[in-house]
Structure 1
């Protein structure tokens, strides 16, 4: 080993030299690559992004210390066209050979083609040019650092920089900041020339962002300027602007304190060719005019119809198409009120939410009939959207179910149905496909089909027999939706007919950051038309059952010529085992439990469902805009089903009929009864440079009672998949430690936790490291198997853990994502064999998705 040490050292030195040379491959002679940049504040190194971003030049990006994008850029040819010409001229026969196949012009242009320069152009685009040290940008960085600390109270700060050579064509810049002592506000006074404004300011003076004794910070002064402007413009001061607020600071350098004077002078008004100072006035609204069916050219907007309603003047260039109240309900500007920017913003938002008009235009003008010049006329111009909109669509498709399919969709939007700004949406859809897997005695090409229709009617108000305006005010933008839909499937799954419908209300508060939705009634009826096709659809269940039948079945009438269970035989075999027909299978045996579970599952999925429910959803977010990466979302939901049907059946004696399980039926249908609640919390932390930590936690439970012993499949929970635990495919995890043996594993209790660290690789390419944990269990229902059930805190050891790495590409309008997930902790295994048995390339679970999982 000692004899090899010099060789290893030599190889290390040679590798280091080659690596260093490759970094500066594109650095011009006499220039320096910015290899490192450091900011030292008061002898301490600072790495906060808000400070490091102040430097105009920063080193090339790196991943774990390796400048990948710089190396990609260096791999590209500097000038592919010149290299191509040199290659052509190196051997004269090359040009002649190419001319046999291409023209002279095509040979010349070949150097600009993808075949010659495509790889290099890609490397340049995906890579990153070397950051060359620029003295002017270094000086600018110094000034920006000084300005930053000045704006944060260090008025006497000093900034310098050092340039240190790190090797061939590589240097480091060190910025050194000495802040000195910070300045504090010693006193605050004001000089407001307009008495009315001085009185207004005094009303909210306690809300000021400037306090005596606080450290000077420019952001506080800027926030105070905005606060004052907002206060005045919401209190009738129409002509007030942010630039009317000025601050004067008198500093005492000996004690690092300052006296702040707020100054608001009277406004300058141009009269003829001279500027005259006049006090600000407080304006009230004298008229509110609403112009509908207008054009962008106001000169052509001639009123042909008009109405007066609740002090609003409504005009239309054609026949007035709206009931006056439908328009005035969306207007917050009122006659006699003070001018207010808030009222204008609320009006604009409410009118836009009607979806009747293009973006509304709201203008103010001084009332010429007012001799005091203290009133305003508000004019609201509305350009109607088209009353009817027809949207057709058609596409060809293929899937596991159909080899070939044609699907079509058509929707019609009818605005202002009842002249109160209602919107009616009617849509139809259909699909016709061909499948060779199905029996087709008539040799029909299109042997599977699905069609349906939906209708939605939206009201821009609460449509309810009881007046709730005192609770849900129009500032909350309430809406009512009445919906219904039907679907019919043939030769798809169990061939279903479904009917759905409901009435729901939604509203919001605090600038739409708190959203509420109350579904008064939701109806969902599903009828299975082809229950005999069950084992042709759920093949995993059939295969498992068939293998067990090979061992325990003795009835030849239940199998085909290949000794495989027929569909009818599979059902008979389940009944035979559950009724104790085979002495070798007792309730305590694992095989018995599997067969019984498959039977219970089949019974659950072939039964018709009627769900009549009510629900309430609350959603809160702190996200300010699309670029905000430091926020949280909280969602809570509670749902109850079956109570109305139970009361109806008992009151009218309609549910005397019962099923084989003893459940009551209403109109011949066994109805569901349960209560369901869930909470979902998502938090994002922004670490800068587009590095984000995202966390999600979810808990949900649905408890059957009364007329039900289980939860309908459509209301149950599943685990796994691209938006859940990515170490498992969707529906393949759980329940509990059962091992996901069924085709679609679901239960009525779910816990899920996910953490994901997202970081940028380069350009629009991002990556993420993630850990997902969670599972589903049966609880308080008709499943008693401990492997499936939640048995208190002891069941938490059955929480599955998946981990992996993901890649995302940001297309601006959406993000394409794929994740490589691995089973890190698998509760289906024996206790001593659960950790890290699913982490290898052959067991990778690949998940595709659009946008982020949470």
Structure 2
């Protein structure tokens, strides 16, 4: 086997070497393959990406230094049709002989087959033709470079280029840039002809981008132009545009310095064949007209219904279907206010957020009733969406528990339910899937399933009996959601029913900040098949069965193979151990193991009732989908059961035998939970991105609980966590994941990923994931699973690996291969690289990036 591996490796290396030597296969005689653009600034090479982007020609792309796509292209036959026909010309009679065997039509079609043509078309389309040096393009690149450095203050820049041969038919281009000293900004003044604008400019508290002593940069001048324009248009200058801002740059008599004069002339008005100028006017809003059911079809029809509310005029071409306040609350433009682009944008955002209109449009016209011509009429055109809309979907799914699934859902959306822009969404879903981790005695492929019904009623305001405008003003786009849901699932073997309900408030404190207050979040989890526990959690069963093989004294607990019967035998034996009816005593290890198994069984099979309140805050600097330099911070705090405990204490309600208050004959959960997550991305250019994520979460039970419900606990491993372990297969602590579906109430995670382009839409990544879960301040007694002090941080697991991503624009398909680099389940001193091999690796499939 070793010899074969050596031969295969040698063959691959030889093949790569041959292809590499043949990189100039399609480079014509007298021409050169471009291998590098070398930009030298004042005699030194630079890695300035912006300067590199000025090139009209760039070398062929590489994968780890190897020109894979170029060599694929070189392997292709560029004229497969001619080659196929030439075969018959060289062999007279061959065509006739093959036609007798196949038929003339089949012989012709053979030339279009994948073997003769398709493979070459594939190689051409996947590959990349050689980039041959073009001196005309080199001169254009040089001119671009000159402009680039000139626009950065190097007014005396000098440029030239030369071509260096680096091998047979290969060469690089050296772009030589001599910048000279950079010019700095000296005096800065303004000349603004319109007195109203001049006054506005002087009262603007936001500092100018242009500052004396700064290096001259054209980008700064553009940014200042946009800053001034935004300020003026937010303070009434409706007709002002960036083109009215010009600059006079004076370098005469200055040594490497430039005086700047920002000039704003009066408004230029075109009138038929002539033009005139007049000072800019600052406009106020004289009327706000809202057309609630506008469409191009009825735009010339007569208004049939109208009303006035809080100085807003509402019009309808049919009967008005909205309570006026539902619409006017979304409009930030008010009668008597100064024209402002910000108010216009905010109104559009709010109207879009209502989800009952298509593409709201806000237009302005000069009010001809005003003799000073300084008033605007704001016209808001709203096109309603259909009141009822139906949706259906069919999906292939993959989750932490489900390896493969087929899901279907139907939904109905009802808009403007109570005539105040509310939306009601009702959906039903069903999913069947396959999981190799599930108990599957009948060996069925589809061994997991789920169906459910959900309802969500959304109000575009804070729904409380008192006003909240002073705390959460409408510019924060507040909303209220009331939800309810039911689901039944057989995906962990205990066959659960899940009832949920909630009341939450959402708002945006700032443009990129979101806040959510879940005033009430109720969940009732009912286990339908708790006696199936040991068929699902087989690790626990094996451990208990091994102990019973030595200490069991009751033959009725065993089957014919001397194994514990599920569930009569397991329950009886556990009870006999814990009531000291066997040879085991509380001081023995086996007794503690049985105690731990029973504690976990009770925790995972008991029904749960959770009534929680939580607050979530998220802040991000991400501007759009293409932004790869940003950070995101998210924090959440959740409290469960405290309200019920307060009511129980005041009401002096009785407790059960375990000292717990109950509701619906069920002890409710009581805990406090908090989470922190921070994500940061750095863009290094050329589609190279470094992304890191850190997470810390802890849930502490108290009062009515001594553990955290399974649905609110943490797990580790999986495609969006530590990718060297399967989901639920890491931790807690150094326990070697002895249980099935391992979970705990504290989690630490830290991940880093370097992403880079391979070719086309295929990206690559190298990653490292660290973290683990632990039990803390709950009823778990296993010291290996607990976090007792900072020394337990040495149980943080480390996984590393690499992956591929394929960008489909609307989502990214991801494959990651993770290797266990540091495994805390092993003994100390034997944890590094113990399982760092393909046999213990984990292949993860995911949709979109992990963070």
TM-score calculated relative to the size of structure 1: 0.93
> SS state of the match for residue 613, structure 2?
strand
After superposition, the Cα gap between the structure-2 partners of 1:337 and 1:399, relative to the gap in structure 1 and judged at 3 Å, is closer
Q: Residue 23 of structure 1 aligns to a residue in which SS?
A: coil
> Structure 1 398/566 Cα, relative in aligned 2: closer, same or farther at 3 Å?
farther
Cα distance in 1 for partners of 2:676, 2:330 equals 33
What's 1:63 paired with? 63
* Residues in 2 aligned to 1:671 and 1:427: alpha-carbon distance in whole angstroms: 29
Alignment RMSD (CA, Å): 2.9
Change in 2 beyond 3 A, CA 1:829/1:302: same
Alignment of 1:195-344 (within 5 A): 195-204=195-204, 207-252=207-252, 255-297=255-297, 299-344=299-344
Secondary structure, in 3 states, of the residue corresponding to 2:682?
strand
CA contact (8 A) 1:657 1:666 kept: no
Give the 3 Å change call, closer, same or farther, for CA 668–233 of structure 1 in structure 2.
same
Write out aligned runs for 1:369-768 (5 A): 369-393=369-393, 409-430=409-430, 450-489=450-489, 493-511=493-511, 513-567=512-566, 568-583=568-583, 587-589=587-589, 591-654=590-653, 656-659=654-657, 661-768=658-765
Q: Is the 8 A contact 2:596 2:782 kept in 1?
A: no
Contact 2:401 2:491 in 1 (8 A): no
Conservation of the 8 A alpha-carbon contact between 1:817 and 1:849: yes
Judged with a 3 Å threshold, the aligned counterparts in structure 2 of structure 1 residues 88 and 189 are, in CA distance, closer, same or farther, namely same
CA distance in structure 1 between the aligned counterparts of 2:492 and 2:840, rounded to whole angstroms: 31
**Could you say which residue in structure 1 is the equivalent of 2:8?**
none
Partner of 1:365: 365
Pair 1:345 & 2:345 matched:
yes
SS in 2 for 1:833: coil
When structure 1 is superposed on structure 2, of 774-783 and 60-69 the one drifting more is 60-69
C-alpha distance after superposition, 1:248-278 (max 9, x if no partner): 1111365111111111111222234211122
Deviation at 1:153, TM superposition (A): 0.7
Q: Is the 8 A contact 1:290 1:313 kept in 2?
A: yes
Tell me, yes or no, if the aligned pair for 1:723 and 1:853 is still in contact at 8 Å: yes
Deviations 1:150-196 (CA, angstroms, capped at 9, x unpaired): 11111111111111111211011111111111111221222222111
Closer, same or farther: CA 789–402 of 1 in aligned 2, 3 Å? closer
Distance, in Å, in 2 between the alignment partners of 1:321 and 1:572 is: 67
CA–CA separation in structure 1 for the residues paired with 2:360 and 2:439: 56
Distance in 1 (CA, whole Å) between partners of 2:450 and 2:240 is: 62
Describe the superposition over 1:368-427 as per-residue Cα deviations: whole angstroms up to 9, x where unpaired: 222211111111111110001122456899999999999653321110011100001122
Could you tell me how far apart the structure 2 residues matched to 1:146 and 1:168 are?
Answer: 31
Question: Match of 2:189?
Answer: 189
Determine if contact 1:620/1:635 at 8 Å carries over to the other structure: yes
Whether the aligned pair in 2 keeps the contact of 1:434 and 1:446 (CA below 8 Å) is: yes
| Farther off after superposition, 62-71 or 398-407 | 398-407
> Unaligned regions of 5+ residues in structure 1, if any?
1-10
Q: In 2, distance between residues paired with 1:682 and 1:399?
A: 23
Provide the C-alpha distance between the structure 1 equivalents of 2:764 and 2:735, rounded to a whole number of angstroms.
33
Aligned partners of 2:808 and 2:29: how far apart in 1? 38
Given the two structures, how large is their TM-score scaled by the length of structure 2?
Answer: 0.93
**5+ unaligned residues in a row in structure 2: which ranges?**
1-10
Distance in 2 (alpha carbons) for counterparts of 1:426 and 1:305? 32
Q: Assess if the C-alpha contact under 8 Å between 1:295 and 1:301 holds in 2.
A: no
**Residues 179 and 395 of structure 1, relative CA distance in 2, 3 Å threshold:** closer
* 1:570 Cα offset (Å): 1.6
| C-alpha distance 432-638 of structure 1, shift in aligned 2 (>3 A) | closer
- Decide whether the 8 Å contact of 1:250 with 1:259 is kept in 2: yes
Distance 1:407 1:772, change over 3 A: closer
- Describe the shift of the 1:400–1:420 C-alpha distance in structure 2 as closer, same or farther (beyond 3 A): closer
Q: Is the 8 A contact 1:534 1:606 kept in 2?
A: yes
Write the deviation string for residues 119-172 of structure 1: whole angstroms up to 9, x where unpaired.
Answer: 222222222221111111111111111111111111111111111111211011
* Equivalent position of 1:784 in the other structure: 781
| More displaced 10-residue stretch of structure 1: 829-838 or 125-134 | 125-134
* SS class of match (1:615): strand
Q: Give the CA deviation at 1:439.
A: 9.2
**Distance between the aligned counterparts of 2:425 and 2:30, measured in 1?**
69
- The 8 Å contact of residues 237 and 280 in structure 1, kept in 2 or not, is answered as yes
CA distance in 1, matches of 2:398, 2:268: 71
